[in-house]
Structure 1
Amino acid sequence: MILTKLTLHNFGIYAGRHEIDITPKPDRPIILIGALNGSGKTTLLEGIQFALFGKFAKFLSKNKSAYLDFLTNSVNRRNLQDSASVSVSFITKRRGRQQQFEVVRTWSLKTHGASADTVQVFKNGELDLELSERWPELSETFFPSQLSDLFFFDGERIESLAQPARCSELIRTGLNSLLGLDLVTDLSKTLQTLDRRLKVEGVSEEHKEKILRLNEKVSVLTDQQQNLDHEMSEILARLGDLQSHLETLRAQLKQQGGDLYEQRDLLVQRQSELLSLVASKRSELTELASSNLPLTLLEGMVKQLEALARNGLTLDQKEVVQDALSSFSSSVIGELSGRSEFTESQVEFLRKIHSTLMEIQKDDDSRPEINFSKESIFRARTEGTHNRSIALKQLLELGKFQTELDQIDRQLLAVPDAVKLEPLFIEIKSTEDDIRSHETKRDGLQDQIERVKRDLESSTKQFNTASDEVRKNEADEKQLIKMHEQLVRGREVLANFEEKIRNKHIANLEKLIREGFEILLRKKSFVSSISICPDTFMLTIKIVGEGAVPASKLSAGERQLLAVAVLWALAQASGRKLPTVIDTPLGRLDSSHRKSFVQNYFPYAGEQVILLSTDEEIVGSYHRSLKKHTSHQYLIEYDDKKQSSEIVKGYFEYSKEAA
């Protein structure tokens, strides 16, 4: 099936008539349509689906009020019109011959009564009354509505399917739709109902009231269980969406410095602690510098003084030491300042010591008398050596504290303004509240499910016991038992058939998912196999060198690729060549994976791929890469004067194209 033409008339934001050719050329499957947000891009996607499926279109959620609201809100009132229409033309092969069809769906606003659409189907240019009357039924032979989710989707759906629970639900529903297993399940339930009805009909009027009452209770509880299971599926799916959204919000917060903002109080506290530690270490080093520590820098001269002391010679040693100390400390500072292992703050500290010594030297009254006896020199050397080891340790600790302090200062400078982050914090809190609310609903619902399950088991047991007890004395007991056994065998055959056919197609689907995932990852030897649990439909990926990994352990970007691989595989497994339409195809994808989608997915997703892109997606190098695969390019532009969007040939042409 290939779509050839789309026509909109007073539909949504499109006033008047708009028609575009969307027939793909050989080896050029892509139809590229660009539009700014709000200019009518999504309206096109809805128009195609509504033309084909009417009120059964998936985006209307099978909700009658949603359908009626859609009819009312989709009529463009710019020219005071009260009617609208959408039509899709397509070609397909029927009995080996190519035939052309056009589906025209029209509706009007009604002053009284509910609005409704009418559909006309043209075959090879002529109105076909039978097709028109039976289109809801016959359209399934062209494009099964159950498969529409595999061929019509958007970036938001890709992000949603990245949640393992959503992805497993897609696989379950996709397989059931492809194989018609929903019919098998319905048939099995029908046989179960017939079995209960048989037990009721097989008893006399005397006991029938009791059996009927128990049968009714079983039926009610069965319906309750099905409804609760469906409600649980919806809650789990919604939880998956919320958790995915929260993950995205937290990533945005981190990107904008939110993690630093949340650590701000701890950083300020640590900054205060480090300032105290640095001040303390500086004080300790200053105290050491006022002792005989500087003499350890004059080892050679001290040895000369020892020799002088042994020889009993006398000099004006004080002047010699002071002059040498001044000269030597200046040399030491000059030498250390050029070494990378000493920080500027450490060298500056030595300069302060030098300045202090020079001040002492200027003040004659403050100069300490130096005793150069052998005992005093020995004591000075011993104490100086001890103090030097302490000083080195203190300097190392000072350097460590100062480095950490500098790092924290830089982090505090990078902390963003609270006003800037406030909207994100509010949305994160709201999402977290929603998650907690849904988790509470989930837990409460699980309790209900368990309770109904117990009641159903108990009621079914009571029903079977009562009916079996009554039938013991009934004349047709043997015949009833035989019919019951046949019904049970029938259900067993159906269950066995369902299991075998599902397992067979699961194996094929696993192969297709792995192939698609490898293509999108661009790593042919990365995945050795992908398996689907036949009970939960959860995916497990066996990675070369790492073993089996559940899909939930993949990165967010890899889960997005896996979700598209699943959609791609299900579409291939359907065996139908149907058009693929993707709205905002790159909007929710990680930037690192966009290139893979453009190069490895879009050109090969099908014989016809319609992409509805914003000016932030398929532009620049991505646009250039797709050009050789593109048949038509259109641009949706909003005209302020006409208050309507127009569809023109061409694409975005401005600086972003040069990106």
Structure 2
Amino acid sequence: MFIQKIIICNIFAYYGRVEVNFGEKIEGKNLYCIYGNNGFGKTSFINACKILFLGTGLKEGNIPHSLKHLAPSATSPKKFIKGNEHYRGILNTNACDENKEDFYIIFEGFLQDKKFRVQRTWEGVHTQEINETLELKIDNQSYYNEEAQEKLNICLLPTNFVDFFFFNGEEIGEISENIRKGLRDKIEEILKIKPLDIILREIEKYKRELKEKQADDDKTRLDYKIKNRELESLNEKIEHYKKLYKEKSDDLENNKQHISQKTYEHQKIIADDDKEMQKLYDEKNKLEIELEEHKEKLSDSLKNIIFMSNKSLTNTLKQELHTLKSHSRKEDIEVFNRLLPEIKEITQTYLQENPEINSQEINYVMMNALENIPKALATKNTYHSKISNANALMLERAFIRLEYINLYQDINEMKECKIALKDTKTEIEELKIDDYKQERKQNLEREIKQLRDEQNELEHQKRESENDLKQVIEQKKEIEREIYHLNQKINTERIDNELHFLQELEQSIKNYREKLIIKLRFELRDKILKKYKNLLPNDNIKDLVIDENFEIALKNDKDGLVIIESQSSGQKQILAIAIFWALSELSKAQIPLIIDTPLGRIDGQNRVRIIQNYYAQNLQTIILPTDTEVSKREYEYAKSHIARLYKIENSDDRGHARINNAMIDEIL
């Protein structure tokens, strides 16, 4: 299949008729890049493509399982289409407000050598009786609605394949998890095993018809026919209830995951508030301590700078201290006279202890000199000051400290500390009444309550489907007993050979079916491992195992199991790509890839490998990257494979998206 044109009209972010023309297929150039910023319409594009093939489930009454994550709060296909208070719906809001009538998605292209056109349309969107139609045209043959959906599944893209041909790179981990859980079903689709099931049913039906003809009387024949029809109807009901039970179980699991996610978001807001509040209180306490320290420091500074504001007095004091240092004072002589007897005694003791200098003449000279010192000092200029020696010493020390005091800095630091403390207190009060966070918490609480209500309803529906299933199984057992008794009345001797042949054929087909699945299991294992190693050659994964239930397990170089959930986001995304790649190869279906946010969680080197290996297949690949995912570096690696470039433009309200042809210089 090759898509030549995609048209989206008034769906999601796309307003009016938006047409993307991919042109004719160019050999060796299979890559089409539609660049766009996040929120501009990339996700809208991929979801529109999915809805074209899956529908919204309007006629069936159930939203397709792989679309439910788009609107967890939508409880019906109608709400999925039109939206509710938590979800905008699939219809463009501006187009709805302006009462536009055209809402559709179209793919045009070639299927082998045949032209095809598929269109899904929504009519009566402004009424309660909204209608959804599907039209498929292959060459000159047209199909509508249920028949079109059946042909679409057979000829273009089976619904089970949609998830791994059209996907969002951000959701690939979740998608791959769903695929890994239902891998056996996917294998049966890929191998076209469903036709084998049809053959087995036809064999069973033919066996019944043969036995029916051997009945001896009309009543037995009629009873046998009726009971077998009832059995067939019950088998269909069992399949229906099994499917319903699985859907409800999956919905319930998704619901629980959403509750867990919303609860985590709610708790995180509370925890973040608590952390932020604690941080602010710690800051407040720290600032209060600093403020007290600044006050003490300022108080000490003020004690030592009492004369700071009177410069004249300060200068006079300094001059007085200087004069005191350079002149004798009367108080100094008085002190010397008081100490003179002790000085004499100390001098005489010293002279007596040193005989070599002790003589009466020296002793006389020394004593006489000491006696005359006060008289000599008194004859010199003495200076009288009102400042005592003790106070002079204190003042001198105070002036020394004054040199190291910066009063302005102390006052400024205290002022800044007070401002910071005030701001912190304001932040604490604002955090207590943060309107946005309060509203967000309340919204999350409402969403959690709604999800819990849905959970209760889903659990009720699951129990109902389980009870219905058990009831139908019991009815089937009763019908089988009745058929068994009717079989006893029918003589099958004349058809024993035919019945034996049919039983052998039936068993052979069943054996072939199982062998085919087993063969593919090993083939799938080899392909997934090979693709994974191509994309991530230096990883710790050395082996991959797929068991009888098609559960995938990874092993490291020591043969130890590696828990997939413990791998990084990038590793899980690459594993998912390897699974998708292997499944698409095994299907031998030439279905284009359409990938939104293709390289979001992948590092630089691995991006190059994905571009050169996965995207460079001879298969139309439409990717919707941002300019940071596929930057100039990645573009250079992909350039030889790129057929066309496009850019998504959008308005400020994000509701008028357009897709235009672009040159690389306009994008990067």
In the superposition, the TM-score normalised over structure 1's length comes to: 0.58
Select 2:488's aligned residue among 469, 474, 491: 469
Q: Distance in 2 between matches of 1:35 and 1:46?
A: 15
Match of 1:184 in 2: 196
Q: 1:227 to 1:120 in 2, by over 3 A?
A: closer
SS at 2:657 equivalent = strand
Q: Is the 8 A contact 1:30 1:602 kept in 2?
A: no
CA contact (8 A) 1:530 1:540 kept: yes
Q: Measure the CA separation in 1 of the matches of 2:262 and 2:533.
A: 29
- SS of equivalent to 2:631: helix
Amino acid at match of 1:459: I
CA distance in structure 1 between the partners assigned to 2:57 and 2:607 by the alignment:
30
Question: 1:61 and 1:106 mapped to 2: Cα distance?
Answer: 12
**What displacement does 1:574 show?**
1.7
**TM-score for the superposition, normalised by structure 2:** 0.57
Q: For each residue in 1:21-49, what CA deviation from the matched residue of structure 2 results, as whole angstroms up to 9, or x when unmatched?
A: 43586666443324456654445345556
Q: 1:261 and 1:197 mapped to 2: Cα distance?
A: 74
CA distance in structure 1 between the partners assigned to 2:184 and 2:45 by the alignment: 29
Quote the offset at 1:499 in angstroms.
Answer: 0.7
Q: Distance in 1 between matches of 2:494 and 2:237?
A: 32
Q: Which residue of 1 aligns with 2:3?
A: 3
The 1:171–1:58 alpha-carbon spacing in structure 2 relative to 1, beyond 3 Å, is same
Aligned to 1:497, the other structure's residue is in SS state helix
Q: Deviation per CA, 1:165-196, whole angstroms, max 9, x where unpaired?
A: x2235422322222111111122223233334
- Using the TM superposition, give the Cα deviation of residue 514 of structure 1 relative to its aligned residue in structure 2, in angstroms: 1.8
| Equivalent residue, structure 2, for 1:456 | 476
After superposition, residues 350-389 of structure 1 pair within 5 angstroms as none
Give the whole-Å Cα distance in 1 for the aligned partners of 2:57 and 2:135.
20
Amino acid paired to 1:58:
L
Provide the residue aligned with 1:573 in structure 2. Answer: 586
Give the CA deviation at 1:647: 2.2
1:158 matched residue in structure 2: 172
Report the counterpart of residue 627 of structure 1 in structure 2.
635
Following superposition of structure 1 onto structure 2, how do residues 218-229 of structure 1 map, counting pairs within 5 Å? 218-229=231-242
Shift of 1:74: 5.7
Q: Does 1:485 align with 2:500?
A: yes
C-alpha distance in 2 between matches for 1:641 and 1:451: 53
Question: Do 2:136 and 2:152's aligned partners in 1 also have CA atoms closer than 8 Å?
Answer: no
Partner of 1:547: 560
Question: Match of 1:44?
Answer: 45
SS in 2 for 1:3: strand
Report the Cα offset of residue 478 of structure 1.
0.9
Question: Which segment is superposed worse, 104-113 or 593-602?
Answer: 104-113
Q: Deviations over 1:233-262 (max 9, x none)?
A: 212322443354456556656866749969
Decide whether the 8 Å contact of 1:638 with 1:646 is kept in 2. Answer: yes
Instruction: Verify: 1:145 aligned to 2:158, yes or no.
Output: yes
Q: Following superposition of structure 1 onto structure 2, how do residues 59-74 of structure 1 map, counting pairs within 5 Å?
A: 59-61=55-57, 63=59
Name the structure 2 match of 1:58: 54
The Cα of 1:498 is off from its aligned counterpart by: 0.7
The CA deviation string for residues 576-619 of structure 1, in whole angstroms up to 9 with x for no partner, is 333101234467xxx5x465774443552443322234xxxx34
Does 2:111 align with 1:129?
A: no
SS at match of 1:60: coil
Q: Secondary structure at the match of 2:589?
A: coil
Q: How much does 1:495 deviate?
A: 0.7
Which letter does structure 2 place at the counterpart of 1:231?
L
Code of the aligned partner of 1:513: I
Q: How does 1:492-503 map to 2 (within 5 A)?
A: 492-503=507-518
Which secondary structure state, in structure 2, belongs to the residue aligned with residue 231 of structure 1?
Answer: helix
**Separation in 2 of the partners of 1:530 and 1:30?**
32
Q: For residues 460 and 559 of structure 2, what CA distance do their matches in structure 1 show?
A: 36
Q: Deviations over 1:110-158 (max 9, x none)?
A: 7999867686869xxxxx5347899877767863334333311234752
CA distance in structure 2 between the partners assigned to 1:572 and 1:562 by the alignment: 15
Residue identity opposite 1:570 in structure 2: L
> Which residue identity is paired with 1:63?
K
SS in 1 for 2:658: strand
Name the residue aligned to 1:358. Answer: none
Closer, same or farther: CA 627–442 of 1 in aligned 2, 3 Å: same
2:343 is aligned to: none
Could you say which residue in structure 2 is the equivalent of 1:233?
Answer: 246
Of the three residues 582, 586, 594, the one matched with 2:595 is 582
CA distance in structure 1 between the aligned counterparts of 2:162 and 2:254, rounded to whole angstroms: 20
Encode CA deviations 1:295-323: one digit per residue, 9 max, x unaligned: xxxxxxxxxxxxxxxxxxxxxxxxxxxxx
Alpha-carbon distance, 1:496 to partner = 0.9
- Rounded Cα–Cα distance in structure 2 between residues aligned with 1:132 and 1:435: 39
Q: CA deviation at 1:457?
A: 3.6
Most deviating of 140-149 and 225-234:
140-149
2:40–2:654 CA contact under 8 A, matched in 1: no
CA pair 462-648 structure 1, distance change in 2 beyond 3 A:
same
Aligned equivalent of 2:406: none
- Whichever residue aligns with residue 538 of structure 1, its letter is E
**Alpha-carbon distance in 2 for matches of 1:559, 1:436:** 32
Structure 1 segments unaligned to the other structure (5+ residues): 123-127, 266-412
CA contact (8 A) 2:34 2:622 kept: yes
Q: Match of 1:511?
A: 526
Cα distance change, pair 522–252 in 1 and its aligned pair in 2 (3 A): farther
Structure 1 counterpart of 2:22: 22
CA distance in 2, matches of 1:16, 1:153: 24
Kindly indicate whether the alpha-carbon contact (under 8 Å) linking 1:34 and 1:651 is maintained by their aligned counterparts in 2: no
Distance 1:61 1:11, change over 3 A: closer
2:486 aligned partner, one-letter code: S
Q: Cα deviation per residue 1:632-658 (whole Å; 9 max; x = unaligned)?
A: 44332234799743223459999x98x
- Distance in 1 between the 2:105 and 2:590 partners? 23
Structure 1 residue matching 2:32: 3-state secondary structure: strand
CA displacement, residues 62-93 of structure 1 (integer Å, 9 cap, x when unaligned): 73678999799869578876456655444565
CA contact (8 A) 1:522 1:596 kept: no
For residues 525 and 643 of structure 1, the distance between their equivalents in structure 2, rounded to whole angstroms, comes to 45
- The amino acid of 1:578's aligned partner reads I
Q: Which residue of structure 2 lines up, in the alignment, with residue 363 of structure 1? A: none
Any residues of structure 2 matched to 1:319-338 within 5 Å, and which?
none
Q: CA deviation at 1:492?
A: 1.0
Q: What is the total number of aligned residue pairs between the two structures? A: 475
Q: Give deviations 1:438-463, integer Å, cap 9, x for gaps.
A: 45654664455455435434532442
CA contact (8 A) 2:650 2:656 kept: yes
